[in-house]
Structure 1
């Protein structure tokens, strides 16, 4: 009895079947994910709320369609756009809005080729009463080498009339008045700098807040640290101090990434407590200074509306005692209470960077949940490779909030079926 020899036609059919299995498997995972996804962005307890949002936007690298807008409840009262990205936003006492931004197409480029990208801050007049629409009435900006990791993410107005600015291009904070720099602190005073910080994402200083007249809380993202800088003194305290870790060939020790990992937008609550969007740990934490002077996690939350946070980049403790969270890659702004229950939420059209609840905005000082005793949260455990791939997909393609590491795993398996089947089918055709 002769055994059957596979024919080219059989190989082609087998390959096509594997391709079909791969496609069906991936599409099925998407359909199931969408069908089982919880509802987000619809919570509302009926309280009147006005929320100012700075949106980084969308597109590759999140550098398209940036905007600033004001929400009355969940209705958009006004929107200012036509800019690559907006970041930190603050409503000033006169009703104008101050916003960090990044935009391309400038001709004044200093050492860089024209056209180039500028970053800095703008003052926007909403013109809500006149109906004329938002208008940029002034701007302070300077050219940067690239659009990525060189932006001004934060600006604060000081009582002196100066503007306090973060700068990733040269890794510093500085004050400016009437277009002139009046003071600066360079991170190279504490951290070992590369030969040219404009050519690498060295520290990624992304936030500065005023604690008191001459004391500022600074987020040094890539070091997993917060530092308190005093004018005339330099760094006077480090939150999540060096633990000996280094990476990427940098000589600089970093803080413990289980405490903070590439954080954004800390808020000084007072009494040795700080609220932080612990971005790459996908959670919001309160850090408390203990008797030995070190800082530990005293309270944490990692989800809202049944959905785990994904790259949250702002958390503000509100005067009512709740916490307003900007959950960037889930494209939502959500207000939670001390227990983590959601009382209000809004699904944003693009990726948000920061949100402020009006009229107070982000304050210095606030209710510390840690004062009620330590709280532990059952946090999810991410798989490093899948988490990294998911982050790339979320920032590049803006995948929906329900697209998780499980979908990435299924996508990889499906891709294996498709590539394997295509190879078998191609080999069958060549033999035919």
Structure 2
């Protein structure tokens, strides 16, 4: 009898414990991750970008939507600073500065779901006049981050005065930079402004900005242009622009919005009002593509090089050095990046091959039966579309090198091909001076040769692309113009201030 009572008592206690545990408050969501708004700790570590050694005494600022989240901290001997009781969520960004001999730096966008750590790498600089400008952009109606907004930072006519950074307690002061000049980042001038694009979190960063006063211009197709004036950049410090809220609205100009154009002697970016807002000069560019991080890949055919160009126009790396492919490229005719920007294709025309580069290494190569290919682009299914110009065909190949689709009917010199969202393929045939659209069955469903255009027919077109509104942009290279053509083969817009435009990319 006593045993039964003991069993009943233990059972009652067990049920009570289970009930209490089930009813206890919890800050965790599925997977043990903290729910929104729950305080967490964030550790920021500042290191030298060249040696990865910790930097002590750096002033670290944590912001969200342009507002300080906590008092600034100085990095300790291990280069670290810990921010406690930070509400979990996204949209955070950390900044490090106030270290003589270094340019200020910023972290990527930070999303906090649990205690976390982020590293910021500061680059040595022989120029003390470098600052940093950062901010974020959101939709005014939904408050959602806007990715792909073009932000143009332009010097204002009158430079605002600025004070040199004053010594702070615990801030490292360096009389001279630690490294030889050839390894130290130089601060380039920004005479005509520089352009970056917001990332997936709606954030943007301008690095190595000379001290002075600037205007920021925000542009995106479907939204009204916004500006921010009197942005003062202090050498060695980070300047944050309060969150910009863009309102939807219609604009004028080309339907593609922001486009990247390759022409003789330079690569330019144009906004929806057909204004040049970014440029890079090089003797003989053959192709260019914009990466998600705001850098631009440029192929130069005569130099047999592919370069990565920063938003400020500086060359970040060359194909021959960083990628270890010295003297292996021969007249690269095209460069195309994957949507995530982690890999890109090089059409190595002179060597009759297509290369895919990832993390500085060749991860894929195709050269079977190719003859003077002029372009290669990614297809959503993972295959590669190649304009095999010398063989007068366009082919789709798998990563195993198998040709799974081809078109070679009545072709003269196909120099560019792109797969459209509807599954059709847009082909630019420079030999027959036309652009044709081919369906999966190999049938022509649309074409344009300009024969009915009062301004004259196409002359050696180099590439064509679809706009966001269903029209097509064609680089009419021989006529020094870019045409926007609708489905009825009517020219709805013509841009004529170009010198042999070759490549168009919608940004």
TM-score (norm 1): 0.44
Of Structure 1 and Structure 2, which has the larger fraction of its residues in helix?
Answer: 1
Higher RCO (C-alpha 8 Å, min separation 6): 1
Of Structure 1 and Structure 2, which has the larger fraction of its residues in strand?
Answer: 2
**Greater CA radius of gyration, 1 or 2?**
2
TM-score (norm 2): 0.38
